[in-house]
Amino acid sequence: MGTDYSRGLRLAGAAAEADVITLREALSSTHVHLSADPEIPGVLKSLPVLVGDLRRLPYQLSLDPLGGTTPVPDEVLGDLQALVDGIDSDRPLHITPAPAGCLHIHLGTQPPPGAALSGVPDGHGVRIRHAGHPFPRLTSPGSGLGAVLTAASLTAEVFKLTIGLRASTYATTPVVDFCPVTLGAEPGAVVTTVPEITSIALVGAGAIGTGIILILDLLGTSGQLTVVEPEFFEPPNVTTYSIGTRDDAAARIHKTALARRHLPRMDVNAFPYTAQDFISAIDNGAERWPETVLGAVHSIEARHEIQRIYADLTLDGSTGGEAGTTLALHEALPQGPCLRCYYPLPLASAGPSAVQRLHELTGLPLQRIARGDAPLTPADLEDLSADQKTALSPYLGLRVCGLSNVMGLTDNAAEDFQPSAAFVAQQAACLVVGAMIARSADLTTGPMRHVEYDARFGPWHDMTTLRRPRSGCDCQAEGGVIDAVRAHRGRAR
């Protein structure tokens, strides 16, 4: 079985308003070429993340180890080849000078002739320049956080340049300077390290969660981390998560075991069950109550479960939006604003199920919809009307079980059916880890922050909103109960 690119292609298709089969053919014929300046601190951390992010999309990919100011070491090239083979052994990383007609991306401050854009980590942040725009003097050595943000941001630029977006649906900014710790345009100004982790739980080891794990590893973080995740690693995760291989998916390794493997400096307390099970274990004294929760889940209900942990601080990362390219950070407190303030439950509505509405809209037989894991094929459209064929043709190649979500027939999009890409989730993960650094080092105090931007446009000035509790939310109406629960859990801590 080949590598499953469906979720990334679905995201690209939604962003470009194109069918995924045509888009896959276009991306498969696009050649992205890389070069790097390995002597710049942080570049050799960023390079494998960038290679991995690009390999999780069906591009042709090459690298010139002599294309920078000094050669890329042979052992690094071997690691990159192994990384690419683990994602898709049928699409190798070609070691070659820049071929004609390629899109040339450079990691470093001295791009060779022909490079379309370049990026480099500066401290915890990123600097990106399109051709013709020089870099300033770097302020600080690039950190693991800056390395991941640089790779994810460069991949976003490649994505924007190659999928055929309409002019109004994206922006190309020739100069980008951004730090996820300060949320400002001065990368390198803050280089505070992550303190040893002693009382933090990561809830969710999916797309955003594995991005957080990758960042913590590249930051060299030590201490203990509890990872709460009930699911196993599966084939669609290979191209949407920041860690994990096709072999891991074939073996159905548990996601908490994957986290432990990728955090060798940390004592990972694996909790292979749900957030609600974690809460019960805390109240039973079997698990320690965390002071901080890093949220990386995909539904409103799961976020409400996280809030019921009532940690001192919750930092929630999310992706979504119409095209799946919007990412956000929500900082929350048990006294409010809590995650229920950010994510109130939608009002229940009566009516036919999403499956029934899908049948009525598309004409697909209910028995065909029941075979939801099978991708939609031209044969499925043969007996449909012309209008029904028109409505369904953009979704050829998608699993039928995801059509209700991508066609807007349900508000409860399961993770398995959402468009997703590692480079978007990594940017959300960078916001979460940046906030953890800022709050733990008192670089940011005061009201909780909500940060949101679209990866098709990039971060922008004044995008941070200070949030207050929502009137009538449980955190306000049930404040006494919440305080009592926290006091009980604190005594057990």
Domain boundaries, the chain: 6-178, 197-346+420-492, 354-410
DSSP character for 238?
G
Same fold, 6-178 and 197-346+420-492: yes
- Look-up of token digits 């075991």: 257
Whether the Cβ atoms of residue 124 and residue 143 lie closer than 8 Å to each other: yes
Given this model, what pLDDT does residue 412 score? 44
Alpha-carbon Rg of the chain, whole angstroms?
Answer: 22
How many residues are there in the chain?
493
DSSP string, 314-376: EEEEEEESSSS-EEEEEEE-TTSS-HHHHSPPPPP--S--HHHHHHHHH---HHHHHSTTSBP
Given this model, what pLDDT does residue 217 score? 97
DSSP character for 415?
G
Q: How far is CA 304 from CA 334, 335, 478, in A?
A: 11, 14, 14
Residue 199 has pLDDT above 60, yes or no: yes
Mean pLDDT of all residues in the chain? 91
**Helix, strand, coil percent values for the chain (each to nearest 5):** 40, 20, 40
Tell which CATH architecture fits domain 6-178: 3-Layer(aba) Sandwich (3.40)
Contacts of 370 (CB under 8 A, 6+ apart): none
Q: Extract the tokens encoding 155.
A: 């991949």
CA torsion angle for 62, 68, 70, 76 (degrees, to 10)? -30
- Specify the range with the lowest mean pLDDT, choosing from 189-193, 198-202, 384-388, 429-433: 384-388
Which tens digits make up the pLDDT trace of 400-412? 766 665 555 554 4
- Specify the range with the lowest mean pLDDT, choosing from 99-113, 299-313, 373-387: 373-387
How far apart are the C-alpha atoms of 35 and 67, rounded to whole Å?
Answer: 5
Strands (E), 195-257: 197-203, 223-228
Indicate the class that CATH gives domain 197-346+420-492.
Answer: alpha beta
Whether the Cβ atoms of residue 125 and residue 149 lie closer than 8 Å to each other: yes
Whether the Cβ atoms of residue 53 and residue 429 lie closer than 8 Å to each other: no
Does 392 or 266 have the greater pLDDT score?
266
Per-residue pLDDT, averaged over 302-326, amounts to: 95
**What residue type is assigned to position 375 of the chain?**
P
Given this model, what pLDDT does residue 382 score? 87
How far apart are the C-alpha atoms of 179 and 185, rounded to whole Å?
Answer: 6
